[in-house]
Amino acid sequence: MDHDRTGPRPPAPRGPVSTAVLSHLLGTGPLPPSGAVAVAPAYGDDLQLALYLCYELHYRGLAGVAPEHEWDPELLRTRAALEHRFLTALRSDVPARDDVACVLEELLTEPADAFGVSHFLCAEGELWHLREYAAQRSVYHLKEADPHAWVLPRLHGRAKAAMAAVEFDEYGGGRADRVHAGLFARLMADLGLDTAYGRYADAASAPALATVNLMSLFGLHRSLRGALVGHFAAVEVTSSPASRRLATAMRRAGAGPDAVFFYDEHVEADAVHEQVVRHEVVGGLLEAEPYLAADVVFGADATGRLEDLLADRLLGAWRAGSSSLYAPLTGSP
């Protein structure tokens, strides 16, 4: 059995569940017992890293892990148990509702007293804050658009056409030098960070892993296609104003032109995407499958829940003058 040499080095485990999953992937031990998964904190490091390891097999794989593990039945059973734990917690923490128009209006209307990560970085963020933020977000942005692409075969009509149009933009409109994941890599280079795919998974916090795990979870399950669309709407509707603040933060902190350009690009692109997603992707999906309204709302609200956890992690550490990462950053901007 050939081992994959193309993927990133697997992150170090953070508990008994992720230790067992990684041991199984490397052929050195059994998978975790179901009881260990059942009691692992749903948003904690151990479960989220274990789930991240499982999902990476569907992206670029992991160095030293046989590609055949992607469809290993025993591993898929363990992944299903991890997903169940994660999804059950989200459904418990996110109130059930089905008014899509109300949720979209909430996303469009930012409270006057709102103060999240982008507000902090815009108002008082230093270069080291921006470097940490980029490292945390790199676990998603270096695969930007990929988790969402899985929903395309599950959509049809207006929703499919509009989703494909937005994804085409995310992939650079056919130009390799404009692919958004590549633009983020150049942002990282401007900040003196390593641009290798998966490089900062070891350093990223559990909430950062959870935000990307949510996309993989929704994208890989046809039954969660409505939730994926709701998640996508939440990302695109809120992206433009946040990107404007982050572009300001990069300029104020003296980051390089590629770091500024990434967010300037998203201010413009996502202002257009927001309209397309609301009216065509969400509208088209619910025109064809109106019974998915509650799932769309759940996807948007679950996204907000995890973004709040990530904000608590980052702002809590930064306000205490501490790093939000598990490993110190090297290099210099």
Predicted pLDDT at 234 = 95
Question: What confidence tens digit (pLDDT) does each residue in 120-156 have?
Answer: 999 999 999 999 999 999 999 999 899 999 999 999 9
Whether 286 and 160 share a structural domain = yes
The better pLDDT of the pair 4, 327 is held by 327
Compute the distance between CA of residue 114 and CA of residue 266 in angstroms, rounded to an integer.
Answer: 21
Whether 80 and 111 share a structural domain = no
Neighbours of 3 (CB within 10 A): 16
Compute the distance between CA of residue 165 and CA of residue 225 in angstroms, rounded to an integer.
Answer: 17
Say yes or no to pLDDT of 48 above 50: yes
Whether 74 and 172 share a structural domain = no
Domain boundary among 92, 108, 137: 92
Identify whether 333 is part of a domain: no
Domain boundary among 51, 66, 92: 92
Domain span at residue 22 reads: 16-92
Whether 261 and 161 share a structural domain = yes
96-104 average pLDDT score: 95
**What backbone phi and psi angles, to 5 degrees, belong to 202?**
-65, -30
Whether 152 and 25 share a structural domain = no
Question: What confidence tens digit (pLDDT) does each residue in 175-222 have?
Answer: 999 999 999 999 999 999 999 999 999 999 999 999 999 999 999 999
Say yes or no to pLDDT of 286 above 90: yes
pTM (2 decimals)? 0.95
Identify whether 185 is part of a domain: yes
Predicted pLDDT at 1 = 46
Whether 85 and 101 share a structural domain = no
Identify whether 45 is part of a domain: yes
Question: What confidence tens digit (pLDDT) does each residue in 66-78 have?
Answer: 999 999 999 999 9
Predicted pLDDT at 333 = 64
Compute the distance between CA of residue 127 and CA of residue 105 in angstroms, rounded to an integer.
Answer: 34
Question: What confidence tens digit (pLDDT) does each residue in 301-314 have?
Answer: 999 999 999 999 99
Whether 148 and 88 share a structural domain = no
Task: Enumerate residues 6+ apart whose C-beta is below 8 A from 46.
Answer: 13, 14, 15, 16, 17, 18, 40
Average pLDDT over all residues of the chain? 94
What's the CA dihedral at 133, 136, 140, 144 to 10 degrees?
Answer: 30
Whether 23 and 145 share a structural domain = no
Whether 127 and 231 share a structural domain = yes
Identify whether 2 is part of a domain: no
Identify whether 330 is part of a domain: no
Domain boundary among 92, 121, 147: 92
Identify whether 196 is part of a domain: yes
Whether 257 and 306 share a structural domain = yes
Identify whether 149 is part of a domain: yes
The amino acid present at 317, given as its one-letter code, is A
Q: How many residues does the chain have?
A: 333
Task: Enumerate residues 6+ apart whose C-beta is below 8 A from 80.
Answer: none
Whether 83 and 122 share a structural domain = no
Of the candidates 184, 151, 149, the residue with the CA atom closest to the CA atom of residue 168? 149
Whether 150 and 229 share a structural domain = yes
Q: How many domains does the chain have?
A: 2
CATH number of the CATH domain containing 245: 1.20.910.10
237-246 average pLDDT score: 93
Compute the distance between CA of residue 133 and CA of residue 124 in angstroms, rounded to an integer.
Answer: 14
Identify whether 7 is part of a domain: no
